[in-house]
Amino acid sequence: MTPHPAARYIAAMSYASFLAVAAGLSLCACSSSSFLTEVQGEATVPASPAGTPTLLNAFPAISSFSALDFNENQDFKNRDVTKDEVTRVQVKSMTLKVLSPNDQGFDFLDSLEAVARAGNSESRFAERGGIAGLGLNAPNPTLSLKADGSVDLRPYVAAPSMAIILRGTGRLPEREVRVQATVVLEVEGDLL
């Protein structure tokens, strides 16, 4: 005997409802959440000796980027999250802004890369080439580096201490230039 078409429809709908509820519960059970955090610091690029063009062979260190401990990060504290609970960290953006003098552009820089380091391990996570030709002129221009979305910084963030290092090429500017670096990170994990 063949079941009535209405009975088959009710059975199919009940099964579909069951699957929808089961899928929703499984998503809730293992859902991960994310939040953004920002690290910021400043550096001073020295001026070239008067009248002597000098190559920029090392970008100055940004002191607040030298010993990062994300358990001390305010966004981690606000969410009651430790760096050990993080499953992935991705760079959303990396910028460098000229703070002073306000009439200085980025014409002294040719290339810049940002590297995460912990212990003997390091990974480049952002870079930009051809900077002098970008026309980033005064006042107070901002340079955006191209973030590599495939780089997971979780091993660096979870380390006892992490550093962010900038490496650049170009020429020393005619005057001392103070810059501000900002890195925005998306932090993911089972943070419920």
Whole-structure pTM value: 0.80
In a domain, 184, yes or no: yes
Flag whether 97 is in a domain: yes
Q: Is residue 179 part of a domain?
A: yes
Is the residue at 11 inside a domain? no
* Count of domains observed in the chain: 1
* Domain around 145: 35-189
Kindly list the averaged pLDDT for each block of 10 residues, start to end, along the chain of length 192.
Answer: 58 50 45 87 92 86 92 93 94 96 94 96 96 92 95 96 95 95 93 56
User: CA-CA distance, 163 to 112, in Å (whole number)?
Assistant: 16
Q: Is residue 63 part of a domain?
A: yes
Which helix (H) or strand (E) segment is 189 a member of?
Answer: strand 177-189
> Is 5 a domain residue?
no
Cβ atoms of residues 42 and 66 within 8 Å: no
> In this structure, are residues 168 and 112 in contact, taking their beta carbons and an 8 Å threshold?
yes
Torsion of CA 159, 32, 151, 130, to 10 degrees: -120
Q: How far apart are CA 58 and CA 176, in angstroms?
A: 15
Task: Tell me the CATH number at 49.
Answer: 2.60.120
Q: In terms of C-beta density within 10 A (0-12 exposed, 13-18 middle, 19 or more buried), how is residue 76 classed?
A: buried
